[in-house]
Amino acid sequence: MDRYGELAQAIVDGDEIQVLKTVRRLLKNGADPLKVISVGLVGGMESVGYMFSKKEIFISDVIISARVMKSGIDLVRRMCKAPARRPLGKVVLGTVKGDIHDIGKNLVGIMLEIGGFLVYDLGVNVEPQQFVKAVKERNAQILAMSAQLTTTVLNMQTTIEAIKAAGMRDDVKIIIGGLAVSRRFADKIGADGYSHDASSAVCLCRRLLKIRQTGGRNRGPDLRIVKRQRRERSDT
């Protein structure tokens, strides 16, 4: 079993010490943080979800693995803190009212932060009016909502209605995600976008804000412009 497999297994075992040790070791050896999250941590949590659906483990086991996963994500976040720079945009993020699942939402938050966005995470069980207030106060360009329960997805629609009622619909792009929703549902409730995982959420936000895709974290100067300027300087 490789290190990523060991990490996934430690999530299944709910072994926090092992998770932190493996995450630290992988990152110190130069591993890609996105891979640490998506293959190691999420891989482990997917197995937990599968075992739970097959009634092989109890809900208490799921809760323990979820807590350990959170510690792992927090460590990745601390060790990979993006250098201070002008954010690409401001995102208000939260899990909708009635829903306390936050693992997927947290992953979306960390990926957006690594991708250069400033994220205001409102947590879980967020009321529509809390979203409205935060978007207004933070002057956010993106509102991102997460839902895992089919019983709570309609609170996304209620939130969109509340944003409209506040006269802010043209000022903010709204994206949704989570196990309980789909692209079709996003279209139906009038959201601007949907993505099925955290990495594509970053591309989605860039696309909605019309930010040029760089294919990575390199947001340095446009080399064509730099070269042209150099040429012009040497001509004079």
Q: Distances from the Cα of 152 to the Cαs of 54, 157, 204, in angstroms?
A: 24, 10, 23
Using alpha carbons, select from 83, 108, 107, 105 the residue that is nearest to residue 96. 105
CB atoms < 10 A from the CB of 204, how many? 20
Q: How far is the CB of 193 from ligand B12 (least distance, A)?
A: 7
102: contact with ligand B12 by CB under 6 A: yes
Considering the complex, state which of residue 26 and residue 42 has its C-beta at the smaller distance from ligand B12.
Answer: 42
Buried b (16+ CB within 10 A) or exposed e, 15-52: bbebbbebbeebbeeebebbebbbbbbbbbbebbeebe
Nearer to ligand B12 by C-beta: 183 or 217?
183
Minimum CB–partner distance for residue 236 and ligand B12 (Å): 49
Span 150-189, contacts to ligand B12 by CB under 6 A: 150-151, 175-180
Stretch that binds ligand B12, among 2-10, 26-34, 102-110, 220-228 (CB under 6 A): 102-110
Binding mask 40-69 for ligand B12 (x = CB under 6 A): --x--x--xx--xx-----x--xx--x---
Cβ neighbour number for residue 150 with a 10 Å cutoff: 10
146 touches ligand B12 by CB under 6 A: yes
123 near ligand B12, rule: CB under 6 A: no
140 near ligand B12, judged by CB under 6 A: no
Query: Tokens standing for 134?
Result: 């935060």
Taking the least distance from each CB to ligand B12, the nearer of 18 and 38 is: 38
Q: Judged by CB under 6 A, how many residues of this single chain contact ligand B12?
A: 37
Identify whether the C-beta of residue 83 lies closer than 8 Å to the C-beta of residue 32. no
Stretch of residues binding ligand B12 (CB under 6 A), selected from 13-21, 73-81, 190-198, 215-223: 190-198
SS3 229: helix
| Neighbour order of strands in the sheet with 90-95 | 118-121, 90-95, 142-146, 173-177, 193-194
The CA distance from 114 to 112, in Å, is 5
Q: Which CB atom, from 40 or from 104, has the smaller least distance to ligand B12?
A: 104
Stretch that binds ligand B12, among 7-15, 72-80, 141-149, 227-235 (CB under 6 A): 141-149
73 touches ligand B12 by CB under 6 A: no
Token look-up 């483990």 returns 57
Q: Are strands 173-177 and 142-146 parallel, antiparallel or unpaired?
A: parallel
Which residues contact ligand B12 by CB under 6 A? 42, 45, 48-49, 52-53, 59, 62-63, 66, 98-105, 107-108, 144-146, 148-151, 175-180, 195, 197-198, 201
